[in-house]
Structure 1
Amino acid sequence: MYNDNPPQRKPWSLPFQAEPEEVSALRRLMRLHLGLWGLQDVIEAAQLCVTELVSNVVTHVGPGTPATLAVSMSGPHLRIEVHDSDTRALPTLMEVACDSEGGRGMALVEATAVRWGVELHADRKVTWCELATESALPWSVDEGPRLRGAEGLLDLYTTERTARVTAVGAHRLSVACAEETAIEIISDLLHWFHAHGRDADEVLERAQVHFETEAGAAV
């Protein structure tokens, strides 16, 4: 049984350090949140915009700059913001040659978003863009505690990353406790995939391949 009401889409934000290695983590978090919001149609576009907006801070403001990613709905549009403290280094839309290796960032955002801009405040600037979204897909009336658990996991993930940015040496779970918690997290996420018509076994296989690839690269 389904209804036509979209899932709750609460605005969220995440402080981070503007480093190249942060981009992939922010892209993954964006995919997870938009999946829970039922906005699969804009995931790739949103990831591209996050990549370019964050890379713009790294390149033109400087690596290690404290910044914040903020995501919300603006009517039917998905709004993505990147906040940083430098009000002088403003993003610009440049014309670049076809064989140029740089300078394409804001041109890609311009081509992908319905609109974008920069807001200047006393202590920061906000570079933002908005993406058009399609109608939400039907959602199950009874999402159940496990599906709510997956949403809670994302909130915890965001909180944990925020703590890592603002403090070092946070308390860590014991190995045994962490293992049990991880199993519950994986189980909740598999329930979420199943509820949205995905094959849980296929998801596990893809995750295993992804893990082995990253592990091999690390070695």
Structure 2
Amino acid sequence: MPDRHPPTRTAADLDGCVEDLRAALAGHDITLPSLRLDLPTFAGAYALPVGLVALGNCNTVTARKLTAVLKESGRAPNPLLLDLDLLAVPMAMPSLRLTVRRHVGAPCADVELCVTELVANVIRHVGEGAPVRVRVFRVFDGRIRVEVTDPNTRALPVLLHATGDDEAGRGLALLDAVALRWGVEQGETGKTVWCELDECVVA
């Protein structure tokens, strides 16, 4: 039987394939920052961890087969709760919090805090009006993962230890206090700042 997913070469097809694979891996508590990065760019922008294991490159056919195996192995990715494109502006924050609450299914202050702080960080360090993508979904063990993607590859978040008189530097400290873990994934055309939190009690 011919492959239902023949090899494709368009950027949209590749991006969709990578997003499917990333979501399938997230369902197994696996994050691969190097997905969809060319090796020279990745090597120049990423601090390699000790004991790095290179999994190698694969084409879209192989990536889709891997995605299918992950989904069928008994721990399929949990449903996507929110996938939203918006402009990072202060006036969007109240409706963003409401949207997060509605899609998560119940008030969840920590998730709302992380989403708004990550978007606020884009406003402060990338620029007001920058386009962002906000994603909230469940991962392994019921944890909730928040991702905010912006088009700037250079303005990386830095955890500061603000003093009582400081007017800035508290956003990431708050996120660091409530999240189980957080990090940054750098891509060719932007970056994604993510965090994972304990599951909310939903109705």
Distance 2:159 2:165 in 1: 17
CA contact (8 A) 2:122 2:150 kept: yes
- Report percent identity of matched pairs: 42
Choose from 110, 132, 136 the match for 1:71. 136
Selected match of 1:60 from 102, 125, 149? 125
Deviations 1:67-108 (A, max 9, x none): 110111111210000000100000110111122121101000
The equivalent of 1:96 in structure 2 is 162
Counterpart secondary structure, 1:88 = coil
Structure 1 CA distance, aligned partners of 2:124 and 2:90?
Answer: 9
Q: Is the 8 A contact 2:82 2:103 kept in 1?
A: no
Could you say which structure has the larger radius of gyration? 1
Q: Which runs of 5+ in 2 are unaligned?
A: 1-77
Report if aligned partners of 2:143, 2:197 keep a CA contact under 8 Å in 1. yes
Mapped partners of 1:120, 1:129: distance in 2: 15
The equivalent residue for 2:52 is none
Is this contact kept in 1: 2:88–2:128, CA < 8 A? yes
SS at match of 1:118: strand
Aligned twin of 2:102: 32
Q: Structure 2 CA distance, aligned partners of 1:24 and 1:127? A: 21
Residue type of the alignment partner of 2:82: W
Instruction: Name the structure 1 match of 2:87.
Output: 17
TM-score in terms of structure 1 length:
0.54
Matched, 1:49 2:119: no
CA deviation map 1:6-29 (0-9, x unaligned):
xx7334311000101111111100
Give me the whole-angstrom Cα distance separating, in 2, the residues matched to 1:94 and 1:15. 28
- Mapped partners of 2:188, 2:80: distance in 1: 26
What's the counterpart of residue 30 of structure 2? none
1:14 partner amino acid = L
Distance 2:99 2:161 in 1: 31
Q: Do the aligned partners of 2:81 and 2:103 also contact (CA within 8 Å) in 1? A: no
| Aligned positions, number | 125
Q: Is the 8 A contact 2:82 2:100 kept in 1?
A: no
In the superposition, the TM-score normalised over structure 2's length comes to: 0.58
Match of 1:82 among 131, 135, 148: 148
Which residues of structure 1 form unaligned runs of 5+? 1-7, 138-195, 197-219
Q: Deviating runs (4+, > 2 A) in structure 1?
A: 8-12
CA contact (8 A) 2:162 2:170 kept: yes
- Aligned residues: CA RMSD: 1.7
**How big is the shift at 1:56?**
0.2
CA deviation after TM superposition for structure 1 residue 112, in Å: 0.7
